[in-house]
Amino acid sequence: MMRSAPLRALPRAAARTNTRSAPRRTFLRARNASRPLERLDIGRLSRARNDYDRDRTYFLAAGALAGAIGIVFTGTKLYKAIQAENNKKRKAAGEPAAGVTQLDAPTVPSETFTTDGGVKRKVVVHDEDGYEIVPTGNGTVPDFPRHLEVPSSHDASQAAQPIAATVQDDAGIEYTLVGLGLRTVSFLSIGVYIVGFYVATADIAKLQHHLVKKVNPIASTLIPSERDTLRQSLLDPAESEATWTALLQDLQCRSAFRIVPVRDTDFHHLRDAFVRAVQTRSNPRPQEFGDEAFGESVRTLKAIFNRGKLPKTRELLMLRDDRGALDVLYDDGKGRQPVGRVEDERVSRLLWLNYLAGKKVASEVARKNIIEGVMEFVERPVGTVATQVL
């Protein structure tokens, strides 16, 4: 009889499988700390923080700017509403509106030019003393004199000329108003001063002759189409600068700017504006304006206007003589007194061009008004404006 072989127990190690189970993670078992450190990017975090700070700064700046604009806009609207209400009350009471100067008859009109037969004419009226005045349209400074009598110490040679003898005496040189306008600042168009451009009456014939011959060499006056051509050239940035530079340099026309503030200001504001205008026009041309003499002249100009307050309605005169020297006179209520003088003609020329020519001028209203005054000159025969009687 066959016997079955006895079964032998296998070793315990043989019963184990050769597979390795994944480690089990429990809440008591710590996570491997090396992986978060590998993912931590300091540069990325720094950039994210910088972007956040930048966006936050832009947002706050935009909010502050919007708030300032809102305050100014609301204040302006409120001021106009209050003024309108006060004017209604004054009108009901029979009083003049605020900001309007009521004069004895004849009342000064508000327009500087009027249209007569399709041609613009300067409005000229007479005040109580019989002097000719031109309205400005401004309540604080309602009019400018049509003629100025200014003392002069450099025009003895002009007295021999026939026309000059009629417009020059012991009191000085007579200047005739060409045009005027309001100088404004900021986007709110806040009025600062009225500026008027005057030309020596004896030199108007030079001005007429040069401008007429520029358009038509064989004419003595300009017809309407030719005047339009001249008007466009005086409005063109490049042509206007060339034309006025020739008038100032070559013809040696004596001229003046009369400045009268419509609100209290100071000489420092004028100084900064004038120096900035001179530097803006001189910096692109270092060959012409880069010498030390010109720099010293600009410093002299700054010193002249290094003064105090400039109350409204006070007169400031800037005169350019036949050699181009600049004289500054100021009337503080006790008569015109000299403030200073700059001999370098380049300084006065650049100041004059700041009002007359170029792409951007100190007062566009004044420039257009001056051009209309020039049109009045060229429509008359050369040499007849100085003897014109209104």
Residue 105 lies in a domain: no
Task: Count Cβ neighbours within 10 Å for each residue of 75-113 and write b for 16 or more, e otherwise.
Answer: eeeeeeeeeeeebeeeeeeeeeeeeeeeeeeeebeeebb
Residue 11 resides in a domain: no
Residues of the domain holding 77? 44-92
Q: Are residues 83 and 184 in the same domain?
A: no
Of 31, 59, 92, the position where a domain reaches its end is 92
Q: What whole-number distance in Å separates Cα of residue 312 and Cα of residue 99?
A: 14
Same domain, 189 and 307: yes
Residue 302 in this model has a pLDDT that exceeds 60: yes
How many other C-beta atoms are found inside a 10 Å radius of the C-beta of residue 269?
Answer: 15
pLDDT at 262: 92
Among 23-32, 56-65, 197-206, name the one with the lowest average pLDDT: 23-32
In a shared domain, residues 228 and 317:
yes
Q: What is the pTM of this model?
A: 0.68
pLDDT in tens, 278-294: 999 988 888 888 889 99
Q: Domain for residue 385, yes or no?
A: no
Q: pLDDT, tens digit, for every residue of 143-198?
A: 899 999 987 654 433 433 444 444 454 568 899 999 999 998 877 778 899 999 99
338-364 CB burial, b ≥16 within 10 A, e <16: ebbebebbbbbbbbbbbbbbbeebbbe
pLDDT value at position 163? 40
Instruction: Look at residue 116 and tell me whether its pLDDT is greater than 90.
Output: no
Q: Which residues pair with 145 in a beta bridge?
A: 133
Say yes or no: 83 and 203 in one domain.
no
For residue 164, being part of any structural domain is answered with: yes
How large a percentage of the chain has pLDDT more than 90? 33
Q: Give yes or no for a contact between 251 and 200, defined as CB atoms under 8 angstroms apart.
A: no
Better pLDDT: 114 or 215: 215
- Domain co-membership, 124 together with 182: yes
Q: What is the CATH number of the domain that holds 288?
A: 3.50.70.10
pLDDT of residue 383: 66
- Predicted local confidence at residue 23, as pLDDT: 57
pLDDT score of 101 more than 50: no
- Proportion of the chain above pLDDT 70, given as a percent: 74
324, pLDDT greater than 80: yes
Query: Residue 211: which residues within 8 A CB-CB, separation 6 or more?
Result: 222, 230, 243, 374, 377, 378
Among 97-101, 121-125, 224-228, 286-290, name the one with the lowest average pLDDT: 97-101
297: confidence class by pLDDT, cuts 50, 70, 90? very high
| Residue 100: inside a domain | no
| Structure tokens, 76 | 């302006």
Q: Are 199 and 255 in contact (CB under 8 A)?
A: yes
Identify which of 164, 341, 329, 348 has the alpha carbon closest to the alpha carbon of residue 247: 348
In a domain, 244, yes or no: yes
Average pLDDT over residues 374-385: 80
167 in a domain, yes or no? yes
Other C-beta atoms closer than 10 Å to the C-beta of 143 total 23
| Range from 23-32, 68-77, 345-354 carrying the lowest mean pLDDT | 23-32
Regarding whether 62 and 174 lie in a shared domain, the answer is no
**In terms of domains, do 62 and 181 share one?**
no
- Residue 87 and residue 172 in one domain: no
Q: Does the residue 184 lie in any domain?
A: yes
pLDDT (tens digit, 9 = 90+) per residue, 332-370? 888 899 999 999 999 999 999 999 988 889 999 999 999
Q: Are residues 77 and 140 in the same domain?
A: no
Q: Are residues 173 and 322 in the same domain?
A: yes
Count of domains for the chain: 2
201 and 55 part of one domain: no
Q: Are residues 214 and 349 in the same domain?
A: yes
